[in-house]
Amino acid sequence: MNTNLDLRPVSVERRTAGTGRRMLLLHGLAANDSVWDRTVDLLPEDAEIWTARLPWRTEGIGEWGQDPNLKGWLAKALEAVPGRAEVVVAHSMAANVLLDLLDQKGRGGTDPLRHYGIRSLVLASPFFRSSAEQFDWETISYYLNDFHLIMEEGIRVHSDGRLPADIQEAMGKRVRERVGPYGWLRFFELYLRTPALQTSRITVPTLVLAGETDFAAPPAESLALAAALPDAYARVLPGCGHFPMIEAAEQFAAQIREFVHQSADAVPFPGAAPIDALESQR
């Protein structure tokens, strides 16, 4: 991981120099590429692994939340990997930005999977609801008034629970302030748009991973997303929450290794395929 202060809105870094498939790992809101540190060396040993640093990272680059076009930033990350990444792993809000980007490109008449060279996807802890009716005032209240609890969870996991509760709470609120109302609004807009996503267009093999105790992105939503995609299955990892790549790094990486192996012979850009039966039940 690059520890120097990087003020570029988007950058990518090669973490392993394998000769197999190129993989790009995308972090979520108020995180950064360090979220992958426990996982990188456990992923397929022949993979060429890249991680991205995105504007909504912990450091908060500029007034990123005031730009409604988060898709453009993520597209720059995809395009920055030499030769393009064949496997894209996106966590939390980044998974939603990625889905939003693929949806927009598809509606514009471009095959986004072919355009970005994506042959398979891993979506970890995504936010997804299949109908607009599933959003109500209680949903808004929960994600607005308890937003700092998600930030606290990230701090707790990164510190292995070593911080006192009051320090953890104060840090969570500080991170919330750095995200700010505009950043929160960008997150919630993405969430609200999930019922309108044309998921049938995302035809590459997809693995959806969830944490059993995730109170931010409930595992039921990962199951619903997998059911809405043409060629996807879900796995719920026991005993972990919103950050399975840290809390259950070995299980998380093992699922990706198996998935990449199984999808290695997939047709690069297939047409629509029947929905795989979900292999994981909550």
Q: Where are the domains of the chain?
A: 11-129+197-262
Report whether 50 contacts 15 (CB < 8 A). Answer: yes
C-alpha span between 277 and 279 (Å, rounded): 6
Q: Is a pLDDT exceeding 60 seen at residue 275?
A: no
CA-wise closest residue to 9 among 79, 105, 85, 74: 74
C-alpha span between 191 and 204 (Å, rounded): 22
The mean pLDDT value of the chain amounts to 91
pLDDT at 266: 65
Q: Is a pLDDT exceeding 70 seen at residue 268?
A: no
Cα separations in angstroms, 79 against 89, 104, 159, 266: 15, 16, 33, 22
C-alpha span between 95 and 69 (Å, rounded): 15
C-alpha span between 113 and 98 (Å, rounded): 11
Reported pTM? 0.91
Mean pLDDT computed over 234-244: 96
pLDDT at 276: 34
Backbone CA torsion sign across 205, 89, 218, 100 = negative
Mean pLDDT computed over 150-174: 91
pLDDT at 278: 32
pLDDT at 108: 94
Question: In percent, how much of the chain has pLDDT > 70?
Answer: 91
Q: Is a pLDDT exceeding 60 seen at residue 3?
A: no
Report whether 229 contacts 197 (CB < 8 A). Answer: no
Q: Is a pLDDT exceeding 60 seen at residue 271?
A: no
pLDDT band of 281, cuts 50, 70, 90: very low
Question: In percent, how much of the chain has pLDDT > 90?
Answer: 83
Mean pLDDT computed over 139-156: 94
CA-wise closest residue to 246 among 235, 258, 237: 237
Q: For the segment 216-238, what is each residue's pLDDT rounded down to a tens digit? A: 999 999 999 999 999 999 999 99
Q: How many CB atoms lie within 10 A of CB 106?
A: 18
CA-wise closest residue to 275 among 205, 220, 177: 205
Q: Is a pLDDT exceeding 90 seen at residue 4?
A: no
Higher-scoring residue by pLDDT: 197, 62: 197
What does R_g of the chain's alpha carbons equal in angstroms? 17
CA-wise closest residue to 99 among 244, 221, 8: 221
Determine whether domain 11-129+197-262 maps to CATH 3.30.70.1380.
no
Mean pLDDT computed over 71-97: 97
CA angle at 115 for the pair 95 and 94, rounded to the nearest 5°: 10
Mean pLDDT computed over 121-145: 97
Mean pLDDT computed over 170-177: 92
Q: For the segment 45-68, what is each residue's pLDDT rounded down to a tens digit? A: 999 999 999 999 988 766 899 988
Q: Are strands 206-211 and 87-91 parallel, antiparallel or unpaired?
A: unpaired
C-alpha span between 255 and 247 (Å, rounded): 14
- Residue 207 DSSP class: E
Report whether 251 contacts 163 (CB < 8 A). Answer: no
Report whether 232 contacts 142 (CB < 8 A). Answer: no
For tokens 């609801």, what's the residue? Answer: 129
Side by side, the strands of the sheet bearing 48-53 are 11-14, 48-53, 22-26, 87-91, 120-124, 206-211, 232-237
Q: How many CB atoms lie within 10 A of CB 138?
A: 8
